[in-house]
Amino acid sequence: ETGVTQTPRHLVMGMTNKKSLKCEQHLGHNAMYWYKQSAKKPLELMFVYNFKEQTENNSVPSRFSPECPNSSHLFLHLHTLQPEDSALYLCASSQVYGTSGSSYNEQFFGPGTRLTVL
């Protein structure tokens, strides 16, 4: 596997279900991100993990719960979602300035999980 992978690619769930989205990066990066893309809206940042520590929670409802067990894996746990949470959920990773000489903030994205909440 190369780059950033996400599973599942598609997910349909009811409002009472509990599910998890998984992201794995094979780039040796030390920062990971969750974004949400709703129809006709720009990508919206949800969470940032830097060296496995959550450094940003962009006012996301508590029904979304992130987990970053190590620098290569990122999860988004979902419970009691609403139909308006239906969207494309994208994971990204980047190398933070200073840890390996990189001085850029390019984020590399996975293919996304298309979530539908019924």
Query: Of 16 and 40, which has the nearer Cβ to another protein?
Result: 40
Distance of closest approach, residue 12 Cβ to another protein, in angstroms? 17
Closest among 60, 61, 54, 103 to 80, alpha carbons compared: 61
Phi-psi region of 82 (alpha: psi -120 to 50; beta: other; left: phi over 0): beta
Which residues, at least 6 apart from 65, have a Cβ–Cβ distance to it below 8 Å?
A: 76, 77, 78, 79
Quick one: 15 or 96, whose CB is closer to another protein? 96
Q: Which is nearer to another protein, 10 or 62 (CB)?
A: 10
Chain residues binding another protein by CB under 8 A are 4, 6, 30-31, 33, 35, 40-45, 48-50, 55-56, 58, 90, 92, 94, 96-98, 102-112
Could you tell me the two tokens for 11? 């997910």
Give the separation between CA 5 and CA 113, rounded to whole angstroms: 10
Report, in Å, the least distance between residue 31 CB and another protein: 4
Closest approach, Cβ 48 to another protein, in A, equals: 5
